[in-house]
Chains A and B, each alone.
Chain A
């Protein structure tokens, strides 16, 4: 049998047609995709998580007295000097965090809307635990967003602060905040929300970024639980110390 030109023709005929219209840019593909948006959430979440770890370490300095705590607050403004002008490093961190919060919140909002639309009809037979993680992430996220605003207005700008807010005297400002019942309630509820958010979020981010696999699963879950516990316990210890008079 001779292999004539039909072989060439057959190869042509069985070639799979590729899409020929111009492809959108990678940035567009990334932002349009649910997987891309989740990646934005995971990265911005991890940036915020890193910040929270630094933040809790700073907060715990309150147990070493006003001198050390206030000096730490001062250092935050001189860090990076003399290379950077006073407070510049702090502002760079703030801008980065703001970008992370906005990126995180916008993706969370868009993804959540999409998710709710994708499942418009609930089952008649309910299984309450089915959406536990999803719901704690969404409600926890809303609590955290509100808390971030309140927290900045309270201890950064002093807008809603009770007692004489004084910049450069963070020790006294913290004691004032936690001398009110609602200051304690808001703060402790938000820190429990942080714990729950990080508990699912850290492990979740590892999956989103493709770092999760069956072998690593237990280690990742243990790390998530550990981080959540350390953050919540560390943050909550401050109002508890003020309430019990350990810090005053």
Chain B
């Protein structure tokens, strides 16, 4: 396959960026999108140009490091992560636009790499349980109803990639935060911090400068892990409950 790429290039956070056009040839439909970019970068290095910076780590869809808005879609046209997106989703001769996540809470570090540490600070505000450490507790000591366990698992699938923020017209982090809050709030292990968790994590989310939720649903459409839109309603319910209880 031969492709036309238009890629966002930006030297650093403060520099002006722009789209740059590249041609890549010899792309196999079985390559992942990141391997296609690797091919581009090899060409660039051989030509003595600076390679395109992009985030990646596991390349198997579980770490949440890869990002990229591809033709306007976070993680591209398939419901998966960019590392698991294959070039067979494109056609020979296509022009593909590649841009970084866009949100003021995710400043561009370089080219396609953005700083997502805002997510870490939301997690630090309450995405933990205060169980004593030590040897693993007996698995049956704390019974968890099956629907709660399922819900916790569903929300625990969030890999913190930030596609939800990138896709949201308001740069809102509600889907991510709701995944993290619901994951622990439905479990008995999360019960001691149930109220403070949701209040503190929502406050941290607001402090980081993410936008509010207008329930457009773009986040849930973009999420590679299928975190569903009703998770946001569930977090709102937790938040309102916590403000009523007001136990801080």
Binding site for B on A (CB under 8 A): 11, 14-16, 18-19, 23, 26, 29-30, 32-39, 111, 114-127, 130-134, 137, 200, 203-204, 206-214, 217
Known interface pairs A35-B240, A209-B237, A210-B234; 11 further A-B residue pairs with C-beta atoms within 8 A, sorted by A's residue number: A29-B243, A33-B206, A115-B214, A123-B102, A125-B99, A126-B72, A127-B73, A204-B215, A208-B215, A212-B233, A214-B230
- B130 contacts A11, CB within 8 Å? no
> What are 12 A-B contacts with C-beta separation under 8 Å?
A14-B133, A15-B130, A38-B212, A115-B169, A117-B104, A125-B69, A130-B169, A134-B170, A204-B214, A207-B236, A208-B233, A210-B237
Docked Cα-Cα span, A155 to B104, in Å, equals: 45
B168 nearest in chain A by CB position: A119
- A209 contacts B236, CB within 8 Å? yes
Task: Write the nearest CB–CB distance from A7 to chain B, whole angstroms.
Answer: 10
Task: Write the nearest CB–CB distance from A105 to chain B, whole angstroms.
Answer: 15
- A118 contacts B203, CB within 8 Å? no
- The A interface is mostly helix, strand or loop, or mixed, namely helix
Task: Write the nearest CB–CB distance from A15 to chain B, whole angstroms.
Answer: 8
- B102 contacts A35, CB within 8 Å? no
Residues from chain B with Cβ under 8 Å of A124 in the complex: 6, 8, 19, 97, 99
**Is B179 an interface position by the 8 A CB rule?**
no
- B212 contacts A117, CB within 8 Å? no
Docked Cα-Cα span, A217 to B237, in Å, equals: 15
Among residues 130 to 184 in chain B, which have CB atoms less than 8 Å away from a CB atom of chain A?
130, 132-133, 167-172
Among residues 90 to 142 in chain B, which have CB atoms less than 8 Å away from a CB atom of chain A?
97, 99, 102-105, 128, 130, 132-133
Docked Cα-Cα span, A213 to B71, in Å, equals: 31
- B209 contacts A133, CB within 8 Å? no
**Is B186 an interface position by the 8 A CB rule?**
no
- B216 contacts A115, CB within 8 Å? no
Residues from chain A with Cβ under 8 Å of B167 in the complex: 130
- B102 contacts A121, CB within 8 Å? yes
User: Quick one: which of B72, B128, B172, B229 contacts A115, CB cutoff 8 A?
Assistant: B172
B169 nearest in chain A by CB position: A131
**Is B24 an interface position by the 8 A CB rule?**
no
Known contacts A123-B99, A126-B72, A204-B214, A134 near B236 by CB under 8 Å: no
Docked Cα-Cα span, A199 to B32, in Å, equals: 41
Known contacts A16-B128, A124-B97, A130-B216, A117 near B209 by CB under 8 Å: yes
- A125 contacts B71, CB within 8 Å? yes
**Is B213 an interface position by the 8 A CB rule?**
yes
- A35 contacts B236, CB within 8 Å? yes
What 4 A-B pairs have minimum CB-CB distances, sorted nearest first? Answer: A210-B237, A118-B211, A131-B169, A115-B170
Known contacts A212-B230, A213-B230, A34 near B213 by CB under 8 Å: yes
A119 nearest in chain B by CB position: B171
Residues from chain A with Cβ under 8 Å of B232 in the complex: 207
**Is B34 an interface position by the 8 A CB rule?**
no
